[in-house]
Structure 1
Amino acid sequence: MSDTSVPSGYCALFNPHVDSVVEELVETVSALRGAPPFEISPLYPTVDPDALETLFGEPNASNWTGSRVVTFDYEGFEVTIRSNGCMRLVPVDTA
């Protein structure tokens, strides 16, 4: 994973062939919040973690053609995940 601070948010890059998109999301939000992962809200009430892994995780990701994008609010961020391995988090008040 590679992290980049951007003017209007935060970008985390992950390898969808190796990394779990759910783990990367939780770790990134945890780091941004300065709290351990068990102290942030569960992901499931916001978005189905299994659906994220189906859309972006290996081996399922290689079975899809075209690009996929999902956007949702989580822990005060607008989260946008792209099938190219880019996860962008923008604070909701500036989204």
Structure 2
Amino acid sequence: MACDDDAQSDGRDSGRSETDDAAVPTYHPETDTYIEQFDPDTVAASRAVVESIAAVRRRSPMEADPLYETIDPDALDSVVESGDPSVSVTFDVDGFWIEVRAIGRIEITPPE
């Protein structure tokens, strides 16, 4: 899920530091999920997914498999950029079940 610097050439920023422990998505034990909010106007959804999964794993995003091996990052970004609040994309990354909503919400369910 590595994300190269060229993916952000549109001026959007990741909004987090690779070493910022406070950036770990919020864990919800009642649903066994992690929730992360991001601003889809300033952060690419694909970048937010890569960084959220890395934070849950407590690893650098650069240590992960490329996201494009699972889903087309450009397509994910385009769907989320539509801004339609009813839109969501769900997929599996290394056993993690990921749901990305166009409102800027990522829900991560870890492997059992």
Output the TM-score relative to the length of structure 2: 0.70
Q: Which has the higher strand share?
A: 1
Report runs of 4+ in structure 1 exceeding 3 Å deviation: none
1 CA distance for matches of 2:94 and 2:44?
A: 19
1 CA distance for matches of 2:44 and 2:85?
A: 20
Deviation at 1:37, TM superposition (A): 1.1
Structure 1 regions of 5+ residues with no counterpart?
Answer: none
Is 1:31 the counterpart of 2:31 in the alignment? no
Q: Report the 3-state secondary structure (helix = DSSP H, G, I; strand = E; otherwise coil) of the residue aligned with 1:92.
A: coil
Alpha-carbon RMSD: 1.7
1 CA distance for matches of 2:89 and 2:111?
A: 16
Structure 2 regions of 5+ residues with no counterpart?
Answer: 1-14, 16-22
Is 1:67 the counterpart of 2:89 in the alignment? no
- Look up the equivalent residue of 2:92 and give its one-letter code: D
Output the TM-score relative to the length of structure 1: 0.81
Counterpart in the other structure of 2:71: 47
Counterpart in the other structure of 1:22: 46
- Per-residue deviation, residues 21-64 of structure 1 (Å, max 9, x unmatched): 1111111111111211111111111100000111113xxx24xx
Identical-residue share of aligned pairs (%) = 34
2 CA distance for matches of 1:87 and 1:81?
A: 5
2 CA distance for matches of 1:23 and 1:15?
A: 11
Counterpart in the other structure of 2:28: 6
1 CA distance for matches of 2:60 and 2:85?
A: 35
